[in-house]
Amino acid sequence: MASPPAPYEQVAERVERLLLRHAELRRTNALLAEQVAGLTHERDALRTRLQAARVRVEAVLERLPQALEDDEAATAAEQDAHRSDAQGNAA
C-alpha cells in the first residue's frame, strides 16, 4: 500500500499547479491587453470619423438655408418672368 505523500510533496505539487495557473493567467492577460489596445484604436478611429461626419453635416446644414433662399428667389424670378410673358402676350 502506498503511503500518503509527505507534506513537502503536497506543497511542491500545489506550487507547480499555481505556477501553471500563473503562466496561463499571464497569457490570458496579454491577449486581453492586446484586445483592449485594438478596441481602443478602433474606438478612436470611429470617434474621428464621427467628428468628420459632424463637420460635413454642419456644413450642409449651414448651406441649406442659403440654398432654400436661392431657390425661393429663383422661383420668384421665374414666376415674375412668366407673368411678364403672360401680360405681354395678352396685350
Mean pLDDT of the chain: 88
11/15 Cα distance (integer angstroms)? 6
Q: How many other CB atoms are there within 10 angstroms of residue 90's CB atom?
A: 6
Q: Which residue has the higher pLDDT, 80 or 67?
A: 80
Instruction: Place 90 in a pLDDT band, splitting at 50, 70 and 90.
Output: low
pLDDT for 22 beyond 80: yes
In one-letter notation, the amino acid at residue 30 is: A
pLDDT confidence of residue 6: 87
